[in-house]
Amino acid sequence: MRIGIDAMGGDNAPDVEVQGAIAACEFLGDDDRIVLVGDKAAIEPHLARAGEAADKMEIHHASERIGMDETPVEALRAKPDNSIGVMSQMHRRGEIDACISAGNTGACVAAAQMYLRRLPGVHRPGIAIVTPTYYGPVAICDVGANVNCRPQHLYQYGVMASVYVSAICGVENPRIALLSIGEEDAKGNELVKRTQQLFRGDPHLRFVGNAEGRDLFRGSCEVLVCDGFVGNVVLKLMEGMAEGVLRAMMEEMLTSVPEEAQKIKHAAGGIMSKYDFNEYGGAPMLGVGGIWIICHGASDHRGIKNAVRVAAGFAKCRVNEQITELLGEQGRADE
């Protein structure tokens, strides 16, 4: 397997990307390779210090970089040699089998659709993140690919995320819930109410109805479906809140039990790592005709390393083939 990594994407590129690629070599088989896509002159010095791992890595030059603030489609057009677009085209030509980027998410989504198209029957790709909870992993989809969702998009997110969480996390027959503002079917906005009807009309999915924000932590589902605007707000709120609550808790603890400062900091670190986006790696873009893993812009080398693990698992478990198969049944690809 050949895995492409956008070396110019994240907030600390290319440092973090190259370090992550080196660390990821432990996951690779004899024939596997990592292809770093980006400015050759900037990458080479880092690679020179990689030792044996360098044998498993290649550089594919791309001279341009899309910034976090740029408008995706415009930037892809104005910078034809940008690393995200170049990497997507390599994937289309079969030169690599997966793409990983910590860069501009909108540009990744646009490039993936532009160059890899969508899987047969898929209306819109959706990004799925897997959140750890006390009761086990929950996949939330979409967390930012699509802010103008129609009911059919949300319904397919449920189907695709079910395949993913079952293939990758080993959850059998996952329970799908729709994020709303009350458990009763009558609550929610128009989008939620119409999506519900689609889920209720598909007896082969394990749809458990509406869920509220707090249900995410109460073990009531393994797949939580929402539009990309709401999902992205939720994702970032969780990030900020874990940070905020833990900091407050640690300060309170240190004041109460100052003699155990070391142990308290250690325990806080343990929890923090559970909510650390770097630990769970990357979020797959479900529904595109290839493997596309998106990392947090502030990823460190562990985030990139774990994204390589996710990409390899995605290929091994044949997630795309399963999505295509499941969408092909029961008219799930209809408009």
Give the interface with a copy of itself as residue ranges (CB under 8 A). 69, 71, 106, 133-134, 144, 147-148, 179-181, 184, 186-190, 192, 212-218, 226, 228-230, 232-249, 252-253, 255-257, 260, 263-264, 266-268, 270-271, 274-275
CB of 32 or CB of 183, closer to a copy of itself: 183
Min dist. Cβ of residue 195 to a copy of itself (A): 13
- Identify which of residues 105 and 162 has a Cβ nearer to a copy of itself in the complex: 105
In contact, 127 and 145? CB cutoff 8 Å: yes
**126 close to 287: Cβ distance less than 8 angstroms:** yes
> Is 241 in contact with 213 (CB distance < 8 Å)?
no
Query: Closer CB to a copy of itself, residue 219 or residue 328?
Result: 219
Count how many Cα atoms sit within 13 Å of the Cα of residue 147 in the half-sphere of its side chain. 6
Minimum CB distance to a copy of itself, residue 50 (Å): 33
Decide: helix, strand or coil at residue 98: strand
Cβ-based neighbours of 177, under 8 Å, separated by 6 or more: 207, 208, 209, 210, 211, 215, 220, 221, 223, 224, 225
**Burial class of 92 by CB neighbour count within 10 A (0 to 12, 13 to 18, 19+):** middle
Task: Provide the minimum distance between the beta carbon of 305 and a copy of itself in the complex, in angstroms, as a whole number.
Answer: 24
CB 176 within 8 A of CB 221: yes
Shortest Å distance, C-beta 306 to a copy of itself: 21
Q: Which is nearer to a copy of itself, 64 or 212 (CB)?
A: 212
Start-end of H helices in 33-117: 40-48, 72-78, 83-92, 105-111
User: CA-to-CA distance for 184 and 166, rounded, in angstroms?
Assistant: 27
Q: Name the residue nearer to a copy of itself (CB basis): 144 or 282.
A: 144
Closest distance to a copy of itself from the beta carbon of 16 (Å): 20
CA atoms within 13 A on the CB side of 298: 4
Per-residue DSSP letters for 26-44? GG--TT-EEEEEE-HHHHH
- Residue 47's closest CA among 22, 23, 81, 16? 22
Give CA–CA dist 161/128, Å, rounded. 7
> Is 62 in contact with 81 (CB distance < 8 Å)?
yes
- Closer residue to a copy of itself, CB minimum distance, 242 or 315: 242
Q: Which is nearer to a copy of itself, 121 or 213 (CB)?
A: 213
Q: Tell me whether residue 133 or residue 330 sits nearer to a copy of itself (CB atom).
A: 133
In the complex, the smallest distance separating the C-beta of residue 173 from a copy of itself, rounded to whole angstroms, is 24
What is the C-alpha separation between 46 and 18, in angstroms, rounded? 7
Q: Provide, rounded to whole angstroms, the least separation between the CB of residue 263 and a copy of itself.
A: 5
Q: How far, in Å, CA of 103 to CA of 7, rounded? A: 9
Least Å distance, CB 290 to a copy of itself, is: 24
Of the pair 91, 296, the CB lying nearest a copy of itself is at 296
Measured from the CB of residue 203, what is the shortest distance to a copy of itself in angstroms?
24
